[in-house]
Amino acid sequence: MRTRMACCGIARLAGRFGGRGRTARTVGGAVALVLLIAVAGLGQETGLLGEFVPQPMLGAVPSTVPLALSSQPARVLKAGPAGAPGAGSYSYGFIPLGNVPGSGVTVAVSTEPEVRIWVDQNGDADLSNDPGGYEREQILKDEFLWRVTVQVEYDVGGARVSQPYTLWISANYRFDMGRYEFLYAGFCQRQGLLDLDGTLVPVAVCSEAAAGRYDDLSSLVVAVDANGDGALDTSPDSPDLFRPGIPLQVGRTLYKIDSVSVDGRRIVVERTGEAEPRPTIAIGSPAPDFSATTASGSRVALSDFRGKPVVLVLTAFLPVSSCPSCCAWLSGTSLSSSVPRCRLQEVETVTGRFDGRVELLVVATDPGSVTPEDLNLGQPSAVAVVLPSLADLYRRALGVYVIDQQGVISAMDQVWTTVQDAWPWVKGNVDPVSTLEIEVVLKRLLGGS
């Protein structure tokens, strides 16, 4: 299925690979008026997030949900879509949002004479006063994307509130089904300030679940100004971005998220300890050191190879390839860099040309896909280990890095992004370092030989 719900493919790819894409947003102006509360005596800090941002966090990987359609709406409507081509030519779906029982929005769709949608944006059960002509983005010939902001009802501590929320709805023609399939996602940000020991720190929350609520911590992505530069960097491997289940860290201080209100307006954190600052993953920065156990039971660390260039490959796929002829066919095409096993085979071939002067270190981040036999790569200067925790340290599960003799990253896979007219035109993709670039960088590090 060719579904790309967000950022023209970057949301899913960036979540796996990471990169330098940056969305910087200094929290100030009207947001500075946000009230901040410290919960005395409990060791907790509370921040209120007053700004709604319909642009997704670059490091969030939203869940897409099929929109179930029927000939009759799930809710009684006062009026159907305005400008629809006929009563029998459109279908209805319902998207549950918020935490008020039965709350959500009705959607009507039509595919003749063209693909269109109508959304009950104001929740008045009347589709005749909704435009139905939302600007759509054509992703592929038969794939379209709409962004529509709706009002969601929340019950927050017994008080009923309404907050904006942006839905991303896609239509993708499925040849196996012989019709269009409609899907939806929602992953907006709430931004504000958090008072940590008297310091106002920019913070944002974004849920990967398409439910219009923020209180499910297992789906919550949080960005906090970890390095104190006054901005939020939500690119996938940024030190400011914290995926679900990862403690927040500002400087050396660790915080546990106690709760987030259902409407995303209030976050409560508790100080839990200290740790070394999160490393920067970028060209020109030191590659974070780590150690792991090989198949023979010996310990190996990245720092063991100081004095030699190292090509570090993070992968969930071993052995190198179960289809060498397939990889040979893909070699030289744009597809080869998107097939992890084939790419690993290409990297192994390049590093093998340097007669042991370059170390290949392969780390499997998915232990379930690896057997002890898979760790024997057959190249004297190649080591393969299993270390799932490296995906958290490097903040990506797949990736290639070229590291110089002093342990500094010289080349790596990167994510590029561009934001035009603020939201919603966020575009980007993964830019993998090619095997030719790897070879050129290694020759430079070795003095041109």
pLDDT in tens, 84-120: 555 557 899 999 999 999 899 999 998 887 888 999 8
Write down the pLDDT at residue 319. Answer: 52
Q: What are phi and psi of 352, to 5 degrees?
A: -70, -20
pLDDT (0 to 100) of residue 131: 63
**Mean pLDDT to the nearest integer, 380-406:** 88
- Maximum average pLDDT range among 58-72, 300-314, 380-394: 300-314
Question: Which percentage of the chain shows pLDDT scores above 90?
Answer: 41
Helices 435-445 and 340-352 sit at what angle, rounded to 10 degrees?
A: 30
Whole-number Å distance between alpha carbons of 427 and 4: 12
Cis peptide before 279 (omega within 30 of 0): no
Cα distance between residue 2 and residue 183, in whole Å = 12
**Residue 40 predicted with pLDDT over 50:** no
User: What pLDDT sits at residue 74?
Assistant: 86
| pLDDT at residue 49 is higher than 90 | yes
Do the strands 310-315 and 299-301 form a parallel or antiparallel pair, or are they unpaired? unpaired
pTM for the model: 0.75
Please tell me the least confidently modeled range out of 23-32, 68-77, 184-193, 425-434: 23-32
Examine the pLDDT at 325 and tell me if it is beyond 70.
Answer: no
Domain ranges of the chain: 291-445
pLDDT at position 132 is 58
- Are the C-beta atoms of residues 243 and 22 closer than 8 Å to each other? no
- pLDDT over 70, % of the chain: 76
126: pLDDT confidence band, cut at 50, 70 and 90? confident
Residue, of 21 and 366, whose pLDDT is higher: 366
Nearest to 236, CA basis, from 227, 223, 226, 218:
223
Residue 100 Cα to chain centre, angstroms: 28
Judge whether residue 426 has pLDDT over 80.
Answer: no
Range name among 12-21, 209-218, 418-427 with the lowest pLDDT average: 12-21
CATH code of the domain made up of 291-445: 3.40.30.10
What's residue 342's pLDDT?
74
CA distance 224 to 239: 9
Tell me the two tokens of residue 12.
């899913």
Q: Whole-angstrom Cα distance, residue 152 to residue 396?
A: 33
Q: Is the pLDDT of residue 194 over 70?
A: yes
Has residue 8 got a pLDDT over 80?
no
- DSSP H helices, 373-448, are 390-393, 435-445
Whether residue 373 is predicted with pLDDT greater than 90 in this model: the reply is no
- pLDDT for the residue numbered 78: 81
The predicted pLDDT at position 310 comes to 97
Residue with tokens 């209180």: 215
Average pLDDT, the chain: 80
Going by their DSSP bridges, the two strands 291-293 and 310-315 should be labelled as unpaired
Confidence of residue 68 (pLDDT cuts 50, 70, 90): very high
Model confidence over 243-270: pLDDT tens digits? 898 899 998 999 999 999 999 999 999 9
What is the signed CA dihedral for 240, 409, 330, 397, rounded to 10 degrees?
Answer: -40
**Is the CB of residue 145 less than 8 Å from the CB of residue 5?**
yes
Beta bridge partners, 399, equal 314
pLDDT in the model for residue 345: 80
Of residues 308 and 391, more confidence is placed in 308
Q: What is the pLDDT of residue 191?
A: 95
Residue 227 has a pLDDT of: 83
Highest mean pLDDT among 10-19, 175-184, 230-239: 175-184
pLDDT top residue among 375 and 201: 201
Instruction: Please report the pLDDT score of residue 26 as a whole number.
Output: 36
SS3 of residue 408 by DSSP: strand
What is the arithmetic mean of pLDDT over 114-131? 83
The stretch 347-355 carries a mean pLDDT of 90
**Spatial separation of the C-alpha atoms in residues 325 and 333, rounded to whole Å:** 14
- For tokens 């219009």, what's the residue? 212
| 386 dihedral zone (left: phi>0; alpha: psi -120 to 50; beta) | beta
Residue from 288, 190, 198 nearest 239 by CA = 288
Task: Measure the N-to-C terminal CA separation of the chain; round to a whole number of Å.
Answer: 46
Determine the pLDDT at residue 421: 55
**Rounded Cα distance, 434 and 400, in Å:** 9
Confidence band (pLDDT; 50, 70, 90) for 428?
A: low
pLDDT score for 221? 94
**Cis amide prior to 424 (ω within 30 degrees):** yes
Note the pLDDT tens digit of each residue in 290-302. Answer: 999 887 788 999 9
User: Which pLDDT band, with edges at 50, 70 and 90, does 125 fall under?
Assistant: confident
Contact 344, 321 (CB under 8 A): yes
Q: Which helix (H) or strand (E) holds 224?
A: strand 220-224
Which range among 22-31, 212-221, 288-297, 429-438 shows the weakest confidence by mean pLDDT?
A: 22-31
Task: Using the structure block, give the residue that is written with the tokens 């459109």.
Answer: 90
Contact 294, 282 (CB under 8 A): no
